[in-house]
Amino acid sequence: MLISLKYEFLFVHIAKTGGTSVRAALAPLLWRDPLRWLQYACNRVSGLTGHKLGVKLPRHAKAVAALEMLPGDVFRSLYKFAFVRNPWDLQVSSYHHIQRERPHLLAGITSFDDFLAWKLEGERAYHYILDASTEPQWDSLIDLRGRCIVDFIGRYERLADDYQQACQNIGLPKIPALPHRRQTDRRRDYRRYYTDRSAELIAKHFAADIERFGYQFD
């Protein structure tokens, strides 16, 4: 999550939706915020204590966290936006991300179907890298009553265009270039990873996203 009081925006970073690139583009703007140095100092101190102070919003914090923590007038003044992604494609991206950066987590996992069953159905210990992408994306955008509290929902499938639109809506005097971060060498279409069973698992687990955002497997 990124918050800028100077430019009055809040970016809700949903995992595996291009958010790392959006953060890289917009984060430098935060240094112009009047309270940025104080925020930076608090984050550093929190990090030194293992984040026991609870003064930092996590990277993938939900919009409701900002709603609950910020003064009401401040929250209302912010232009709130996020990006979402086809759930079937997102899980393939998660699989490759973990293979690349946390391969030890996949010990004993021999196929993509096994990965999904272990990640979404099995009993296992919580792990941030895994569980950041196990909940419906819709849950990151709503309040405790289930009402959407963001102003703009962009799509990963048209990330560059929707990023430009969000920046224009914010009213940035100059739109920062959007870098391409965490590139993957994946070449296969996401649909080729799935069996009928695993495709249906995603359809059921992420039914809220499929209904709200109109995604389909094909």
Whole-number Å distance between alpha carbons of 113 and 88: 12
In this predicted model, what pLDDT tens digit does every residue of 10-23 receive, in sequence order? 999 999 999 999 99
Decide if 38 contacts 64 (C-beta within 8 A): no
Per-residue pLDDT, 183: 59
Decide if 87 contacts 138 (C-beta within 8 A): no
Three-class SS of the chain:
CEEECCCCEEEECCCCCCHHHHHHHHHHHHHHCCCHHHHHHHHHHHHHCCCCCCCCCCCCCCHHHHHHHCCHHHHHHCEEEEEECCHHHHHHHHHHHHHHHCHHHHCCCCCHHHHHHHHHCCCCCCCHHHHCCCCCHHHHHECCCCCECCCEEEEHHHHHHHHHHHHHHHCCCCCCCCCCCCCCCCCCCHHHHCCHHHHHHHHHHCHHHHHHHCCCCC
2-213 fold: Rossmann fold (3.40.50)
Per-residue pLDDT, 118: 92
In this predicted model, what pLDDT tens digit does every residue of 65-95 receive, in sequence order? 999 999 999 999 999 999 999 999 999 999 9
Distances (CA, A) of 16 to 2, 19, 97, 130, 204: 16, 7, 9, 11, 19
Whole-number Å distance between alpha carbons of 63 and 83: 12
> What are the domain boundaries of the chain?
2-213
* Cα 71–Cα 73–Cα 77 angle in degrees, nearest 5: 120
Which residue stretches of the chain have pLDDT < 70?
51-55, 181-187
How many other β-carbons are positioned within 10 Å of the β-carbon of residue 160? 12
Whole-number Å distance between alpha carbons of 55 and 135: 24
Task: Give the predicted TM-score (pTM) of the model.
Answer: 0.90
Whole-number Å distance between alpha carbons of 116 and 121: 8
